[in-house]
Amino acid sequence: MLEHPLQRFFKSLRERPVFAWERYQMRDVLVIDHPLCQAVFSRQGAQLLHFQPKGQKPWLWCAAKWPHVGAIRGGVPVCWPWYGRHPSENAWPSHGWARLLDWKLLDSSSDDDGVHLHWQLQLCDWQVDLHAHLGERMDLHLSTEHQDDMPCQLSQALHAYWRIGDVGEVALSGLDGAQGYDQLSRQVCQQEGELRVDGGCQRVFQHDGELQLKDHAWQRQLCIDTGDHADTVVWHPGSRPLLGVSWNEVLEFVCVEAASGGTDSLCLAPGERAHLSLQARVIVPTLCVGMPQGTLRVQ
């Protein structure tokens, strides 16, 4: 098991402030050290790269090496104002401009429940805001306002890379019966039972409610909620190589994403807003005297 590269910021025994800017791999990163959790954001993309509630293993995966310029692979990239390839401009970057640009941090605060952050990006006639609440849980909310006087198209995603013990030992439950589209076989599909991804997966499901990411290697269960008005995308490259990522690293993540407008772009009227959210919490096994093994306790 490889250590998360951003855990290096928390190895010092000296007391850290809750929020501190650092420089890492040619990017400005905001290091967060709160009694409930540790986290790291990149100013580029307002990208949450690391999140770890105290006493737990990391929730998010991040590549050890980043390119000198371009997108950082890992964490929760904000794919905006399009998701995937641009529908008409082939030379434009996949997943949009937001993950390549520096965002403004408008507000950061902490309380007994964790930390709250508000990031914002202004681009032409668009304004996009990312609100994050991190503590024992993770809550991300993306809000887009269209400020032009003509309708426009939008697609977006919160493209989360979840850290796991071994991709061969994870399963997703909560999708049983869900209709979807398999982008590898290019055909519609319907999920039956648990979904396993170690052979490669790229599926888009029409699904509401929580999913359970069961990680047998780490004896952990993450509950992931992509909201009521978004598709759920499940992705893992399988044996296909990823540029700049070692094979051992590929075994340690699976992507479960909230996405909207990926198939048919959203059409926003002037002044209209679009919203996207991603929430997660953990269920851990509690082994107590007098309690049957496997009893679950919600944190």
Cite the DSSP H helix spans in the chain.
247-250
Which DSSP helix (H) or strand (E) runs through 138? Answer: strand 138-146
Q: State pTM to two decimals.
A: 0.92
What's the confidence (pLDDT) of residue 124? 86
pLDDT tens digits, 199-209: 899 999 988 88
What's the confidence (pLDDT) of residue 17? 95
Q: CA separation (Å) from 142 to 36, 99, 156, 183, 239?
A: 23, 13, 9, 25, 32
pLDDT tens digits, 218-260: 999 999 999 888 899 999 999 898 988 998 999 999 999 999 8
Over range 179-200, report the average pLDDT.
Answer: 93
What's the confidence (pLDDT) of residue 266? 79
Structure tokens at 287: 């082994």
pLDDT tens digits, 106-156: 999 999 999 999 999 999 888 999 999 999 999 999 999 988 888 888 899
Q: What is the DSSP string of 236-258?
A: E-TTS--TT--HHHHTTEEEEEE
